[in-house]
């Protein structure tokens, strides 16, 4: 069976993004993924600025990268600056 992972982000700060990334990494650590992870950042319920949300998404991605987890896609319009 082919397997991927999808994370529905709720973060609005870099600290929250790092905490969500750690949780996500822990959740998928038991699986052998065939596909890269997907970060879905569609809502901005906390009204974070574009810069703050962009910085948070980059922090999330960097933590995944440090653990050799490939992130293939970020769905985020219109909340992020272009990464």
DSSP, collapsed to helix, strand or coil, labels residue 46 as coil
Residue 52's nearest CA partner among 8, 18, 82, 14 is: 14
32, HSE (Cβ side, Cα atoms, 13 Å): 2
pTM of the model: 0.82
Angle at 14 between CA 11 and CA 20, to 5 degrees: 45
Give per-residue pLDDT as tens, 34-75: 888 888 888 787 888 888 988 999 999 999 888 887 776 666
The per-residue pLDDT for 21 is 96
Question: 9 vs 1, 17, 39, CA distance in Å?
Answer: 26, 8, 7
User: 75 forms bridges with which residues in the sheet?
Assistant: 40
The per-residue pLDDT for 74 is 65
Q: Where do the structural domains in the chain lie, given as residue ranges?
A: 5-75
pLDDT for residue 83 is more than 70: no
């Amino acid at each position: 069976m082919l397997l991927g992972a999808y994370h529905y982000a709720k973060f609005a700060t870099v600290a929250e993004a790092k905490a969500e990334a750690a949780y996500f990494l822990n959740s998928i650590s038991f699986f052998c993924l065939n596909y890269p992870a997907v970060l879905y950042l569609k809502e901005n319920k906390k009204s974070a600025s574009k810069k703050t949300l962009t910085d948070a998404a980059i922090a999330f991605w960097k933590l995944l990268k440090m653990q050799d987890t490939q992130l293939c896609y970020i769905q985020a319009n219109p909340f992020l600056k272009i990464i």
